[in-house]
Structure 1
Amino acid sequence: MYGYRLGAIGIVITFFTIIFSTVLMPMVLFQPKPSHHGNDYSTETVGDATRGRRIYIREGCFYCHTQFTRLQDRGYGPLVQAGDYVYETPHQLGTARTGPDLTNEGGRFPSQWQKAHLVQPRAVKPGSIMPSFSYLSDEDMNDLVAYIQSLGNKRIPEHYVEAPAEYTDTTPAGQALLARRHVDTKATASANAGRGIYTQNCAACHGLDGRGNGPNSITLEKKPANFTRPFYKQYSDEMWFYRTSEGVAGTRMPRWNQILTEEQRWYVVAYLKTLQKDAEETVDKLEDVEKVEQIKLPALTHEEYEPHTGGGE
């Protein structure tokens, strides 16, 4: 009996030692410095975003959207740091990615696009399972958009997405890749060469003119990307090459680096860059819900489909 008591006491001591060292001590000793990517929602400088954060919590947005980027989350932007969450009490990390991660969502799309997406998600993202929040008042909607636009403090100001480091000149692998490149993606001759490769390998899904309406598209649950969208003007050559090479997770798109040579993929990039249309107007007023169907950024016809969202973008 005495031995059992000692064993029980040992288990209890071990348990509380673990809790003390892994939970209580870090709470007291770990005091990260605030990151410039975070927002102090207790101040007046973020105004509407403070109220928008409450609406975000109230509407349960964190059930489907996370707010943390990990090493394996390619295409979501820079990794988060502890200092990003200093002002987050409680934090909105989330537990599932039914929708895309929102860590760096701020500045990726115009505010009017965000409003249209909240009012009628499938109008701007065909196939989306996100519910409509059209019942929100104008004030609540504007506050929620302000909060979304504050996420990440616009740490990605130039491009919606960035290619992984191994495809850019920031790493030895990327530098070697770019050094091997000899295709001028701005040249008409390169685009013409790329069109033939595209027609043979990509048109079956993406369509001859890149609108995502190829004959195979009707059989795909996740519709092929519509490359005519103004959205794609933000893609760098490296981002195009990355997507062409590795495909899009969660879709039927193959990894063309297993099939096409680097030279062929660069030619495809040159052609893809010629497909984008000019930006067109979005809705101006939340009340004009019926106008959402006329939004052209991104285009809204049934044949024009949403590309990957990078999440569960």
Structure 2
Amino acid sequence: MRTSPRQMQGLALYALGVGAFATMDAFAKYLSGSYPVAEIILIRALFGYIPILVQYRMGAERGMQAVRSRRPLLQLLRGGCVLAAGATFFLSLSGLSLADATAISLAAPVFMALFGITVLREPAGRETIVAIAVALAGGLLIVRPTDGINLYALIAVASALFYALGVVATRRAGQADPPIVTAIWGNTVMVAASAAMILHSGWVWPTAEDWLPFIGVGLAGGLANLLYIGGLRLSGVSDVAAIDYSIFAWAAAFSVFVFHEEIPAASLIGAGLIVCGGVYSAVAKWLRSRDEPADAPLALGMGPTS
């Protein structure tokens, strides 16, 4: 089946969204050593209402229909998972290179596959088993447990785990509520929780030169979600799945050219294994069964599928 111009536009938008999301991570990396994670998340979440407003304008739900949930406890749980995923990822950036943290986060589909098999009772094809095995091997190369326990690497692994839990919760919530409800609840949980953490830990007022990175975190994250929404409305979910892995190329470029970080050969090989495993799984599923274009955008939070 040939790719239509509409689908090509969707792929281009989604690819730009990955780049915008990586740019948000780079701004967060710059800020993570000087400011509490809660501040970064609060700014990010406040800007997150921009794509939610776009979803609201494009959707059919109006008024309380866009807010009322049939599964409020599940929505709170999902919001907590998304918050934890973002907080632990930003925290890991204070002790890891952007490339290493991003590479470890790419292992999230491994946890998603495992949860899908055990919790959602999804069938496990050959490509799933291969992707899990290859990604685990790549993750071990990046974390390198034989060199000693790296606390920040473990935090990055925890971020991938929380991200996967958030995806499972998103799928469950999607069975009960429209995407706009899930988006509003998730973003509001992040705003309320991060604001509460700031009240407890205190606010560090940004310096004049740091206001631009703070605004960059919010704008880049909001723009990424808008591009994801547009891409998913024009292309099927399986069409864009492999594009998610291009974020490592962005992260590696930021690490080398902006933060002047050295990327060990083991990390590059490990990231390559994770990317190859994920791309193989995505392409195999894409060839076996093409998804129809999405009727409505996904409920987006900190990332493309959260």
With normalisation by structure 1, the TM-score equals: 0.23
Structure (1 or 2) with the larger CA radius of gyration: 1
Greater relative contact order (CA < 8 Å, ≥ 6 in sequence): 2
- Structure holding more helix per residue: 2
With normalisation by structure 2, the TM-score equals: 0.23
